[in-house]
Amino acid sequence: MGCNRSVPDRRSERVIKAAILIQKWYRATMARIEMRRRYSLSIFRSIEYADEQDQLQLSKFFSFMLDHYTNLDSVSPISTSPTDPQVVGECLRITEFEEKIDVPDSYYGPRLSFPLTVGDANALIHAFRNKQRLHPHYVLQLLCETRRVLKLMPNITHLSTSYSKDITICGDLHGNLDDLLLIFYKNGVPSEQNRYVFNGDYVDRGKNSLEILIILFAFFLIYPNNISLNRGNHEDYLMNLRYGFTKEVSNKYKEHSTQILYLLQDVFSWLPLATIIDNKVLILHGGISDTTNLDFLKALERNKFVVFFLKLKSLLQPPKSVGGRHNQKEGISTTGLSKHTASKHDAGKTQHDSSLSSTEPSGSNLPAGPTQEEWKQILDVLWSDPRSQNGCKPNKSRGAGCYFGPDVTAKIFQRYNLKILIRSHEFKREGYDISHGGKVITIFSASNYYEEGSNRGAYIKLDPELIPRFVQFQSSNHTRRLNILERVGTIESSALKSLQELIYAHRSELISAFAQYDLNGTGCISVPDWAAAMESVLQLELPWRMLRPRLAQMNPDGQVDFMSCFYDLKMDQPIKEAQPALVETLCRYRKDLEIIFNIINKDNSGLISLEEFSQTWRLFTSHLGIDVQDDSFDKLVLSIDHNKDGHIDFNEFLEAFHFVHRVEEKANS
């Protein structure tokens, strides 16, 4: 007999080798796909946090704008005598709304009557699922009634599992109505036996923030002891101006949007700050710090952070000291304003100062403003994030709140005899995350947050044993039809587009940074130098070397052609009067300009006078130290006033300068 192996043995060996090769190929392919997914999500998250930093860095300027443009005598519809502080703070009675806003017979949407019933709530769900809109008459009624009930609630609400089998905790929804409806489909609507805690950030980013609020407020009015609505960091006036909720309400309820928006900010100010279940589980939106004091939070007046001295306020505005109330002491100058605008500001300032002098002494009818300690306590619970390292340090990624470590969690658990901290506020790919040895749980209920297929949403079922069970979901049917490569490709493409737009908006700064490494003027630099220049300007903490093939081209010598960063993008510039430097500035500060316009645009007409726009622009650029020639901006503004009536459509102005991706341009040609 020979010693050679049989033919079946050799075939088995080849099959095994083939299987090993296929397995290696599959693992390598999946690793590359996972790498692409991770850096795409890192891009989205870094840009999101950088945007929040910009918002907070400009909070002083926005505070100035709020102080001079949002006196309640111009924005509040809920006062028949705006100069009377006692009247300004009160809601119109429902009967007064009924007299002011009629519901025509042609309206076929839900008709609400108070007190609400489960049938009313179900009718709202059915209407919104079918893209119907609730009449403003009922929206205002609902908000007034919600405000009335919220005022009776404590800063920290308490729930008990002894009254129901489970309590469901939901995280950020961010205007995604499909996620809320899917949660109700899978888990049932709120009831006495089906209790819910919603942990803030109901609004912004998504298209149906108002519908989510209306549904949740309706169920809250029906079951006030069985549904808890915590406040998030996006339930805030300035955040809403920047991230879309203000624009959503203005577009949906043009005639009554001012009334609705003002009333909403008042409602937001009365949302509880936290919920505690069975005295063991603390639920709040952001997190804690080493100075968080639950007893202090229980005792403060949570609503004073929105309306103070007849002006709309934001949590992003730190309290002013007695000696620092005036805008000159805040580093904002009004010397660049026109006589008309400056006189209006001076009049408002004089009235504001006189109100201070006449009301600040003892016996004043106006409440005292928030203290620094009150402001910090609330900011920490709404903005903070956990981290794996011990200690507590400022949250530089977001620009507000802090990073808190396991030792900070252990300290507050020991002090208040807690078992679990449930928070939201932070994107999680699987919809939830567990940290600090199982003591801190992050729950995020907005699926497809950055892009279709970018993440799942989740909610928590908490049983009487306080053992959390996670339920994941994803509301998009389109995503399910795509394979994993197509899903990741969609996410990656969207992330890179956002990054390329940010790169182009910083074009001048980046070219200057590249030039410092390009001593011979070749237009090419090494990969490490290119990565260092990108990070020095954009400060996104991204893996630039890994991203280089997607952003810039290499020459045959292995050097980066740094100008190729801008090849795939251009600014659509239909107006020849716009200088390149000015276009870049308008592009970079587009969101900030939109906030300023929304503050000024009290009547929601979409129009702004040329004089007011030019003077506000000068004030804005002066505050930021931007060197832009005034005459070039004036020429640009005049060119957009097509009918020469002294006003421009601000939205059209912004749309005149938008990015065009060359790949898309070729595809559409």
pLDDT tens column, 198-249: 999 999 999 999 999 999 999 999 999 999 999 999 999 889 988 999 999 9
- Please count the other Cβ atoms lying within 10 Å of the Cβ belonging to residue 168: 20
* Averaged pLDDT for residues 593-598: 77
What pLDDT is stored for residue 309 in this prediction?
40
Q: Do domains 116-280+425-473 and 580-668 have the same CATH topology?
A: no
Position 569 pLDDT exceeds 60: yes
Q: Delimit the domains of the chain by residue range.
A: 116-280+425-473, 580-668
The CATH fold assigned to 580-668 is Recoverin; domain 1 (1.10.238)
List beta partners, residue 172.
Answer: 444
What pLDDT is stored for residue 604 in this prediction?
66
**Per residue in 216-238, is it b (16+ CB within 10 Å) or e — as a string?**
bbbbbbbbbebbbbbbbbbbbbb
The structure tokens listed for 184 are 């109700």
Looking up tokens 């890179």, which residue turns up?
A: 496
User: In whole angstroms, what is the distance from residue 50 CA to residue 500 CA?
Assistant: 15
pTM for the complete prediction?
A: 0.84
* Phi, psi for 394 (deg, rounded to 5): -60, 140
pLDDT tens by residue, 575-584:
555 566 677 7
Q: Are the CB atoms for 505 and 657 separated by under 8 Å?
A: no
Q: Strand, helix or coil at 96?
A: helix
Percent of the chain with pLDDT over 90: 53
Percent of the chain with pLDDT over 70: 76
In the residue annotation, 234 being an active-site residue is answered as yes
Reported as a pLDDT band with limits 50, 70 and 90, residue 356 is very low
Reported as a pLDDT band with limits 50, 70 and 90, residue 88 is very low
User: In whole angstroms, what is the distance from residue 257 CA to residue 533 CA?
Assistant: 45
Position 358 pLDDT exceeds 60: no
Position 486 pLDDT exceeds 70: yes
Nearest alpha-carbon partner for 203 in 195, 214, 193: 214
Sign of torsion over alpha carbons 512, 514, 520, 521: negative
Position 504 pLDDT exceeds 70: yes
What pLDDT is stored for residue 643 in this prediction?
66
What pLDDT is stored for residue 656 in this prediction?
62
What pLDDT is stored for residue 259 in this prediction?
87
Q: Strand, helix or coil at 223?
A: coil
The structure tokens listed for 592 are 């900030």
Interacting residues of 17 by C-beta distance below 8 A, sequence separation 6+: none
Reported as a pLDDT band with limits 50, 70 and 90, residue 255 is confident
Among the ranges 28-37, 302-311, 338-347, 455-464, which has the highest mean pLDDT value? 455-464
Distances (CA, A) of 567 to 44, 534, 552, 557, 659: 22, 16, 9, 20, 12
What pLDDT is stored for residue 578 in this prediction?
57
Range from 98-112, 288-302, 583-597 carrying the lowest mean pLDDT? 583-597
pLDDT tens by residue, 610-622:
777 777 777 777 7
Reported as a pLDDT band with limits 50, 70 and 90, residue 343 is very low
Strand bridging mode 195-198 / 227-229: parallel
Write down the catalytic residue from 68, 174, 234, 425: 234
Q: Strand, helix or coil at 294?
A: helix
* Averaged pLDDT for residues 642-663: 65
User: Any idea which architecture 116-280+425-473 has in CATH?
Assistant: 4-Layer Sandwich (3.60)
Sign of torsion over alpha carbons 341, 345, 346, 351: positive
Mark residue 126 as left, alpha or beta (left: phi above 0; alpha: psi -120 to 50; beta: remaining): alpha
- Residue type for 190, please? P
